[in-house]
Amino acid sequence: MKTYILIGLLLIGGANTAVAQDHVVKYHATINDVKYVYASVPPVARLKSGDILDTNTLDCFGNAIQKPGDTLSMVKGDNPLTGPFYIEGAEPGDTLAVKVLGLEVDGNQGVGSLVPGFGALNETNYTPMLHPPLPEKIFFYPIDHTANTATFQALDSHFSVKIPLHPFFGCIGVAPSGGEARSSIVPAEFGGNMDSPEASVGNTVYFPVNVPGGLLYMGDGHAAMGDGEIAGTAIEVPLRARVQVSVIKGQKINWPRFENDDAIMTVGAYRPLDDCLRIAFTELVGWIHQDYGLSELDAYELLSKVAKIHLNEMVDPNYVVVASIEKKYLPMKKK
């Protein structure tokens, strides 16, 4: 664990010249210092509100799957997490904002896998049946950094096709509330394994601060993913990442949120999907009511006409839905 303080040297996300005067904290993660639970443990680095963090994440297999013949039995733990990062001044009841400034695939291939006991069309730990599980399969996805694509190659025929890259954090979250510690495969109120493509460049993600310092974790990079992540994996990759953290004092939220110039977005993470939707939409109604001034019932009606739903995943211990509305449909934000 090593922490450097730099000033204004932006290696990725070159458009961010406006933040040239921000502090940049660098931290390099290896398999020796990753974590497998979101919990309140000593941080690997400390940041100030407004600081930029340059770091990296291992892939969901701890980078253990590298070549044909490698198997899931070589994986020591799922979703190794980089962190936690302590953000000065963040206290329970505050909100932590994490703006994603830059994300790059850290390597030349991605990995996909059919995992026995995992996946939306497979019997699993939490939807068990008497069938034998589907077989383990490993797929390698060569990355073309110039063309910005990954290539799917069928195992049972000669078909291949290129897929545009959209890198994002499968895992991003903070220490849970109430003294809980949660596995890195779980998404919940603290964020975590949300598998949200919204956790990508250009978006800000908000978390409730549950413990002093917030304690931010990241991992499980995805080069691209289909809605629902139905077979249980995306194109799994290590990432190099740049994010900017800010503490919003005295603003309490209950579930993670996303925002960009165009839209506000809320997260619902639970089972079944029906309840994910109810969580995401009551949060979105509340956000619109509180910050944009529409009555709750007007907001409900408006969302019934213009809302978007992004079903992120239906494979983790909790499922994840993001509900959103474009800002162009909203009144001016209240000051």
Restricted to residues 44-103, the positions that interact with its own copies (CB under 8 A) are none
Q: Of these, 29, 39, 47, 265, which contacts its own copies (CB under 8 A)?
A: 39
CB 39 within 8 A of CB 184: no
Q: Which residue has the tokens 């474009």?
A: 326
Segment near its own copies (CB under 8 A); pick from 48-56, 116-124, 207-215, 237-245: 116-124
CB of 196 to its own copies, least distance (A): 14
- Give, for 304, the enclosing helix (H) or strand (E): helix 296-306
CB of 185 to its own copies, least distance (A): 9
Binding pattern for the stretch 278-297 against its own copies, x by CB under 8 A and - elsewhere: xx-xx--x-------xxxxx
If one asks whether residue 271 binds its own copies (CB under 8 A), the answer comes out as yes
Q: Which residues contact 78 (CB under 8 A, 6 or more apart)?
A: 36, 60, 61, 184, 185
CB 183 within 8 A of CB 173: no
User: Both tokens of residue 98?
Assistant: 């994490």
Taking alpha carbons only, the member of 100, 14, 92, 96 closest to residue 47 is 96
Residue number with CB closer to its own copies (252 or 308): 308
Segment near its own copies (CB under 8 A); pick from 5-13, 81-89, 98-106, 224-232: 224-232
CB 166 within 8 A of CB 216: no
If one asks whether residue 228 binds its own copies (CB under 8 A), the answer comes out as yes
User: Both tokens of residue 219?
Assistant: 């991992």
Segment near its own copies (CB under 8 A); pick from 53-61, 92-100, 209-217, 276-284: 276-284
If one asks whether residue 233 binds its own copies (CB under 8 A), the answer comes out as yes
3-state secondary structure of 246: strand
Q: Of these, 61, 85, 152, 190, which contacts its own copies (CB under 8 A)?
A: 152
